Amino acid sequence: MKLNPIHLSITSHPENLKHIRKVMKDIMSKTRLSKEDSGCIILAVDEACSNIIKHSYKNDYNQKIDLTIKLEKTLLTISITDTGIRFDKNSIKTRNIDEIKPGGLGTYIINQVMDRVEHNCTAKGLNRIKMMKKLK
């Protein structure tokens, strides 16, 4: 199934993550993915937004996060932009997954769930994470 792109703009308050999860759940219900796979994608989007709130905006709950979600026949693309501190993927320290402790697994989860993840800074100075998942 193909949908017109969906655009969301929220303030960076953790309370708003439930709205994003609800929208993602509605979108995932239109795919043929299993409930488990859909839940993993919802978690990846939630983690990306949580990381923006915590790291890019340093828990400033009055900033803006914009999402664009495109569902095509064989590809789901989620682009998330913010105006906070630029993300440096090289600053992420990898660790043994067996050394689980609270926090710090968002990037790992995103990279495990999605088929392709791109981080960049736009010409207008926005941070963008683009996550893509191939649909069978």
Q: Residue 101 — pLDDT band, cuts 50, 70, 90?
A: low
> What is the per-residue pLDDT for 105?
76
Domain presence at residue 117: yes
pLDDT in tens, 20-49: 999 999 999 999 999 999 999 999 999 999
3-state secondary structure 13-71: CHHHHHHHHHHHHHHHCCCCCCHHHHHHHHHHHHHHHHHHHHHHCCCCCCCEEEEEEEE
Radius of gyration of the chain (CA): 15
Q: Domain range holding 129?
A: 6-134
Q: How many domains does the chain have?
A: 1
Domain presence at residue 115: yes
Domain presence at residue 1: no
> What is the per-residue pLDDT for 88?
67
Average pLDDT of the segment spanning 101-106: 65
Phi, psi of 65 (to 5 degrees): -125, 130
Residue 89, pLDDT > 80, answer no
Domain presence at residue 101: yes
Domain with residue 52: its CATH number is 3.30.565.10
Strand order in the sheet with 127-134: 6-11, 64-71, 75-82, 127-134, 116-121
- The residue with tokens 């979600």 is 69
**pTM, rounded to two decimals:** 0.89
Share of residues in the chain with pLDDT > 90 (%): 76
